Structure 1
Amino acid sequence: MSETSNVDPAELAKFSDLAHRWWDPESEFRPLHQINPLRLEWIHGLAPLAGQRVLDVGCGGGILSEAMARKGAQVLGIDLATKSLKVAQLHALEAQTRGVQYREVSAEALAAEQPGSFDVVTCMEMLEHVPDPASVVQACATLVKPGGWVFFSTINRNLKSFLFAIVGAEYLLNLLPRGTHEYARLIRPSELAAHCRGAGLELLHTRGMEYNPLTRRYWLSADTSVNYLLATRKLPAA
């Protein structure tokens, strides 16, 4: 797939229409605000961020990008949704967050431009929104330095995830806007692991993320049946 074609205009439009609400913790993006401390500490615990050059692929409004910059990383957030990036840039200015920049560029295009340039690459809640997730995984592997960390998070594809992440989250609990996720685009951990191996990334850690709708609390666990995270490292060249 070419550098510019791995994008779904409908997906970009979906998030652009909500861009002004990215930083409202009670908006449609409330789940991202709630899970951000969990995923940030998991990343930081495995790959301490201070002084590292970090790339956040599919950064959206910059919730994770800013948080990693506040840990002392030099962060570049990339996305193809123009409005979301403008919101991210504006919020970084208003919050006076240093060490974070944003660019409107695809992971594939940046990989061709800056291979092996980053200590850590994150790609969170993004793979299920692109036509060719393997292409993004390969780009992330190209962008990270040998021995560097690449983190992914996405949603499993099975009956439970359909009931929890789509029917429950979008239609019953209204945690997310309806239509946020398409079942056919969800990715099994085995499929994502295969993409990683094919890109020269070694899978080191897997975590699941669970949610209790009564307490409105998220936590990390060993259960990867719905939301899950992978931590990988780029194998050194043979």
Structure 2
Amino acid sequence: MTQTTINQAEIAKFTAMAEEWWDPKGKFKPLHKFSPVRLGYIRDHLLSHFGRDGSAMRPFEGLTILDVGCGGGLLCEPLARLGASVTGIDAAERNITIAKLHAEQSGLEIDYQATTSEALAATGKKYDMVLNMEVVEHVDNVPLYMKSCADLVKPGGLMLTATLNRTARAYALAIVGAEHILRWLPVGTHDWNKFLTPDEIKALLTRNGLRITGETGVVYHPLTDEWRASRDMGVNYMVMAERPALS
């Protein structure tokens, strides 16, 4: 594999923060706050798409889920508890070390690997759902990254992409507000120039054989201190796509 999606500066940035993945008051506090709305969206689409019973204790038994850029495993662990067979990959080895340790302490079996989406795709692996959550804005060679993620989706499977829109409002809120004023994130976490618009993400998905099935914005409500799904995709947003089943 001569091409890579790895951005060494981004890897170093997240490696330096790796010890704090599971601290809800630490540098990843925004992701802890963000997780419920992400998990709710994932759960609803998995239940509907695969015809699962939402009242079951482990409704995703038998489904395979890949979390690309899994970090410390904040999404992997709850999905494993819901019965899915979960694989988490991250290019930062320290993140994988932290994720493995926490999963072991939690009594969960999760397949964590220090690798990239393109390297895993080269093995021919396929999954019922691929999660591409807040990663695309941190990689090099975005077309290669999105292609490799799409290649990991089984026929009839899903991929969810979550990222930040390249708008003036996203710059004001996600960078000036979240990093410089509120200090929710370390300064330099994001580069506005690497944000992608929903149309750009959807074009990359359809180019790689996926069909768009849903989209939503995600907005912060300060009075309740929570994130909620919204029609407003001007800052944070998610796009769901499926690979058509073989006929």
TM-score normalised by length of structure 2:
0.91
Q: Report the counterpart of residue 15 of structure 2 in structure 1.
A: 16
Structure 2 CA distance for aligned equivalents of residues 45 and 185 of structure 1: 29
**Aligned with 2:146 (options 118, 137, 146):** 137
Structure 2 CA distance for aligned equivalents of residues 88 and 34 of structure 1: 19
Please state whether the residue corresponding to 1:12 is helix, strand or coil: helix
Segments ≥4 residues shifted beyond 3 Å: none
Q: Report the counterpart of residue 69 of structure 2 in structure 1.
A: 58
1:2-53: CA deviation from partner (whole Å, max 9, x where unpaired): 5652111110000000000000000110111111121112111111333201
Please state whether the residue corresponding to 1:149 is helix, strand or coil: strand
Q: Report the counterpart of residue 107 of structure 1 in structure 2.
A: 117
Structure 1 CA distance for aligned equivalents of residues 3 and 89 of structure 2: 14
Structure 2 CA distance for aligned equivalents of residues 43 and 50 of structure 1: 15
Q: Report the counterpart of residue 53 of structure 2 in structure 1.
A: none
Aligned pairs, number = 235
Runs of 5+ consecutive residues of structure 2 not aligned to the other structure = 48-59
Verify: 1:122 aligned to 2:121, yes or no: no
> Contact (CA 8 Å) 1:3, 1:108: kept in 2 or not?
no
Structure 2 CA distance for aligned equivalents of residues 162 and 155 of structure 1: 9
Structure 1 CA distance for aligned equivalents of residues 97 and 13 of structure 2: 16
Q: Report the counterpart of residue 102 of structure 2 in structure 1.
A: 91
Verify: 1:151 aligned to 2:150, yes or no: no
1:116-165: CA deviation from partner (whole Å, max 9, x where unpaired): x2111101010000012222221121111111000110000010000011
Structure 1 CA distance for aligned equivalents of residues 181 and 171 of structure 2: 12
Letter aligned with residue 91 of structure 1: H
Structure 1 CA distance for aligned equivalents of residues 64 and 9 of structure 2: 31
Please state whether the residue corresponding to 2:75 is helix, strand or coil: helix
Q: Report the counterpart of residue 240 of structure 2 in structure 1.
A: 231
**Aligned with 2:83 (options 69, 72, 86):** 72
Structure 2 CA distance for aligned equivalents of residues 66 and 190 of structure 1: 31
Letter aligned with residue 87 of structure 1: I
> Contact (CA 8 Å) 1:4, 1:109: kept in 2 or not?
no
Please state whether the residue corresponding to 2:80 is helix, strand or coil: helix
Please state whether the residue corresponding to 2:220 is helix, strand or coil: strand
Structure 2 CA distance for aligned equivalents of residues 59 and 201 of structure 1: 22
Letter aligned with residue 109 of structure 1: A
Q: Report the counterpart of residue 184 of structure 2 in structure 1.
A: 175
CA RMSD of aligned residues (A): 1.4
> Contact (CA 8 Å) 1:122, 1:150: kept in 2 or not?
yes
**Aligned residues: percent identity?**
40
> Contact (CA 8 Å) 1:210, 1:227: kept in 2 or not?
yes
Structure 2 CA distance for aligned equivalents of residues 3 and 23 of structure 1: 34
Structure 2 CA distance for aligned equivalents of residues 172 and 97 of structure 1: 38
Displacement of 1:213 in angstroms is 3.5
> Contact (CA 8 Å) 1:51, 1:73: kept in 2 or not?
yes
TM-score normalised by length of structure 1:
0.95
Letter aligned with residue 36 of structure 1: S
